[in-house]
């Protein structure tokens, strides 16, 4: 059967081995061709082709709920569930999401793109079904590094205690975004590479093959011997001790073997882990050979980007400050830490997909005299807000949070937009929040941060290219910088990358005879009094930010101006807060999304004209 003729997963059940193999090849090629045009997560999906085929042949989706952790590994699932025609629009504005999407299909139960959560979803859904005697199966597919996250262990522990009939598929591809971290990962690798197990398995298979008169009995005997060897030589104790039955490991690229394992697992009354071994990037040589570029949609560190400025600053600081250490949660490549790790391997810590642990471990390091720098995507900081607030903030520790992909990020959609960080961090007592507007500003901010130990500091920057300016256009410390002096009608405060929108708006307004004052706030919290004093002298103050407009930078400016004593000679200016509307925004080009919110030059200028009447 051709992929284009596939209408539903039920069509797969009539296919023979040769047809399935041909379909697997076609699926891989379709994914490669599409991702080459649209970008996306290539390696994880190429590695899950046979596994996903087996899942849809054994289970009846969407009647049986197939839940995917790290929803970026669902491209095959999308193609098998009636979305072939739409797949060309992967990650394109207004078209197919790069993750599972409940709006797209009933086969997508959860929109899960922050990792390590699927076992908790499975526990909850299975509990709900148990209360109604619903016998439909719940299947949770976890892997791609997600088992390094603490929440996965919490979910697994509760599944084992509950005895609920959940099938957990552990997709062990040997890698997460970076090399997988943790004892469990090490034990899984030992399973794959155990020479005693592999040697004895090969010996028994060779012996059986030399006994042609046994026939079919030999095949059954080999399977039984494999199962016995697994029980004898593999560390199943980890799962069994939690009350979860363990089956495996199985070859995740052998559809028949995986089907048998899944069918057997579905016969158990309680939770079962089916451990399958897959190869990330399977069938595409560049993806198999390059451990970074083709494994995840990182795109690497772009020359001239804010991330590159951070990398240079961190290396410079580490050379003269031996107490500087770097921490990341499975993202050393895309957060710019690989050069640091190469230069200082003993001072770089990748804790896996475990942001909570990363932050509290950084607190402990700071207590011990180190200077920890945490490199995360802004969207993932929300997973560790409690630790940021209480473990770092309450103790006033000099931990540095370096938040990449802040603001509207573009193609990855609602789960990856970094629109909460300014709202959350501005609520942490003692936290300093910095937003660079250029490559050089970020470097200056990092240098100033390293020179002080007065509590936690966060520096947040966007995924988009960084403007390059002369060093005479860079501020110092926590002071804001006035970029243009106006005529007193309007004052524009452009936070971080939004300084560019403020300047573009000022140019438009100048054509209307309005000379706007423009400030680069630099420091989101605390706010610079000199900037506020100047802003208070204008009829209208407009704040511009690429985070949520409620509770962020603009709200801080509004509150600070409102708290000032009234003056007859200078009445309180009107304040207009421009920012991202509070909603879960779809994927699309970052600049186009910002423009749709009125957060570009023309949009800001239009807002000013409206406010001035």
Q: Closest Cα partner for 242 from 120, 139, 159, 165? A: 159
In a domain, 530, yes or no: yes
Same domain flag for 253 and 310: no
pLDDT tens column, 461-519: 999 899 999 999 999 999 999 999 999 999 999 999 999 999 999 999 999 999 999 99
In a domain, 299, yes or no: no
Same domain flag for 277 and 351: no
Phi-psi region of 336 (alpha: psi -120 to 50; beta: other; left: phi over 0): left
pLDDT top residue among 147 and 451:
451
Across 376-380, average pLDDT:
96
In a domain, 80, yes or no: yes
Same domain flag for 117 and 241: yes
Tell me which residues are annotated as active site: 280, 355, 383
pLDDT top residue among 62 and 464:
62
Same domain flag for 525 and 603: yes
In a domain, 553, yes or no: yes
Residue 315 has what pLDDT? 98
Same domain flag for 510 and 431: no
Across 551-564, average pLDDT:
95
Query: Is the pLDDT at 12 greater than 60, yes or no?
Result: yes
CA distance 576 to 468: 29
In a domain, 226, yes or no: no
Q: By three-state DSSP, how is residue 578 classified?
A: strand
Contacts with 252 (C-beta within 8 Å, 6 or more apart), sequence order:
47, 48, 50, 51, 171, 172, 258, 276, 277, 278
Other C-beta atoms closer than 10 Å to the C-beta of 451 total 10
In a domain, 90, yes or no: yes
Query: Is the pLDDT at 205 greater than 70, yes or no?
Result: no
Same domain flag for 103 and 169: yes
Domain C-terminal end among 426, 460, 494: 460
The region of weakest confidence among 40-44, 125-129, 606-610 is 40-44
Query: Is the pLDDT at 276 greater than 90, yes or no?
Result: yes
Q: Which residue segment(s) compose the domain that 491 sits in? A: 482-612
CA distance 74 to 65: 14
Phi, psi of 579 (to 5 degrees): -170, -170
In a domain, 40, yes or no: yes
Same domain flag for 407 and 263: no
pLDDT tens column, 210-257: 665 554 555 555 555 555 544 444 547 788 888 999 998 899 999 999
Contacts with 546 (C-beta within 8 Å, 6 or more apart), sequence order:
406, 407, 408, 419, 462, 495, 496, 497, 498, 579, 580, 594, 599
Contacts with 418 (C-beta within 8 Å, 6 or more apart), sequence order:
377, 378, 379, 403, 405, 406, 407, 408, 409, 460, 547
| Cβ atoms of 506 and 516 closer than 8 Å | yes
Percent of the chain with pLDDT over 90: 67
Chain-centroid distance, C-alpha 518:
34
Residues in the chain: 613
Write the CATH number for 413: 3.40.50.970
pLDDT top residue among 234 and 520:
520
Across 288-303, average pLDDT:
59
Same domain flag for 563 and 456: no
Domain C-terminal end among 425, 460, 495: 460
Same domain flag for 53 and 164: yes
pLDDT tens column, 399-433: 999 999 999 998 888 888 999 999 999 999 999 99
Same domain flag for 508 and 432: no
Helices (H), 89-149: 118-131
The H or E element spanning position 520 is strand 517-520
Write the CATH number for 588: 3.40.50.920
CA distance 118 to 134: 20
In a domain, 199, yes or no: no
Say how many Å lie between the first and final Cα of the chain, rounded: 64
CA distance 169 to 171: 6
Sign of CA dihedral 12, 17, 20, 24: positive
Domain C-terminal end among 460, 491, 511: 460
| Cβ atoms of 331 and 178 closer than 8 Å | yes
Our CA angle for 9, 116, 353, nearest 5°, is 130
Same domain flag for 515 and 438: no
Per-residue confidence band for 281, with pLDDT thresholds at 50, 70 and 90: confident
How many domains does the structure of the chain reveal?
3
Chain-centroid distance, C-alpha 453:
30
Phi, psi of 336 (to 5 degrees): 85, 20
Same domain flag for 280 and 330: no
């Amino acid at each position: 059967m051709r992929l284009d003729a596939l209408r539903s997963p039920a069509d797969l059940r009539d296919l023979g081995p040769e047809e399935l193999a041909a379909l697997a090849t076609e699926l891989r090629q379709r994914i490669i061709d599409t991702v080459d045009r649209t970008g996306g997560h290539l390696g994880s999906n190429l590695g899950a082709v046979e596994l996903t085929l087996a899942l849809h042949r054994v289970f009846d989706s969407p009647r049986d709920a197939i839940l995917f952790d790290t929803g970026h590994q669902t491209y095959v699932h999308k193609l098998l569930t009636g979305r072939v025609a739409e797949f060309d629009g992967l990650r394109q504005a207004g078209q197919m999401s790069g993750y599972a999407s409940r709006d797209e299909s009933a086969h997508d139960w959860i929109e899960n793109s922050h990792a390590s959560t699927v076992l908790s979803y499975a526990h909850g859904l299975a509990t709900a079904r148990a209360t109604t005697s619903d016998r439909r199966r719940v299947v949770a597919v976890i892997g791609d590094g997600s088992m390094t996250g603490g929440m996965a262990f919490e979910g697994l522990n509760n599944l084992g205690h509950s005895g609920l009939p959940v099938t957990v598929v552990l997709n062990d591809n040997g890698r997460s975004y970076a090399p997988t971290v943790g004892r469990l990962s090490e034990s899984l690798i030992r399973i794959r590479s155990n020479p005693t197990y592999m040697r004895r398995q090969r010996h028994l298979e060779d012996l059986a093959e030399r006994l042609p008169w046994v026939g079919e009995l030999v095949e059954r005997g080999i399977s039984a011997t494999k199962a016995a060897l697994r029980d004898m030589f593999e560390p199943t104790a980890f799962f069994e001790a939690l009350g979860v039955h363990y089956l495996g490991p199985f070859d995740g690229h052998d559809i028949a073997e995986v089907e048998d394992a899944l069918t057997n697992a579905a016969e158990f009354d309680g939770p079962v882990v089916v451990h399958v071994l897959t190869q990330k990037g399977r069938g595409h040589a560049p993806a198999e050979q390059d451990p970074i570029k083709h494994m995840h949609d990182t795109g690497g560190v772009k020359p001239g980007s804010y991330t590159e400025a951070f990398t240079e600053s961190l290396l410079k600081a580490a050379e003269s400050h031996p107490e500087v250490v770097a921490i990341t949660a499975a993202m050393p490549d895309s957060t710019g830490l690989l050069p640091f790790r190469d230069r200082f391997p003993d001072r770089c810590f990748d804790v896996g997909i475990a942001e909570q642990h990363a932050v509290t471990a950084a607190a402990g390091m700071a207590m011990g005299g180190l200077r920890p720098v945490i490199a995360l995507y802004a969207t993932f900081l929300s997973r560790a807000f409690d630790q940021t607030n209480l473990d770092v903030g309450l103790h006033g520790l000099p931990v540095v949070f370096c938040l990449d992909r802040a603001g509207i990020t573009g193609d990855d959609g609602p789960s990856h937009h970094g629109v909460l960080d300014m709202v959350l961090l501005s609520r942490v007592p003692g936290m300093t929040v910095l937003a660079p507007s250029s490559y050089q500003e970020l470097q200056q901010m990092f240098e100033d941060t390293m020179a002080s130990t007065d509590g936690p500091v966060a520096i947040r920057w966007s995924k988009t290219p960084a403007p390059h300016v002369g060093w005479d256009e860079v501020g110092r410390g926590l002071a804001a910088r006035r970029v243009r002096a106006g005529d007193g009608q309007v004052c524009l405060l452009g936070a971080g990358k939004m300084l560019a929108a403020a300047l573009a708006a000022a140019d438009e307004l100048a054509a209307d005879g309005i000379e706007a004052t423009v400030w680069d706030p630099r420091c989101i919290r605390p706010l610079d009094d000199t900037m506020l004093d100047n802003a208070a002298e204008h009829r209208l103050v407009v704040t511009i930010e690429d985070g949520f407009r409620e509770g962020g930078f603009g709200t801080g400016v509004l509150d600070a101006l409102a708290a000032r004593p009234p003056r007859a000679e200078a009445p309180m200016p009107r304040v207009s807060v421009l920012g991202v509307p509070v909603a879960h925004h779809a994927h699309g080009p970052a600049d186009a999304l910002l423009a749709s919110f009125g957060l570009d030059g023309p949009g800001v200028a239009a807002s000013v004209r409206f406010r001035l009447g």
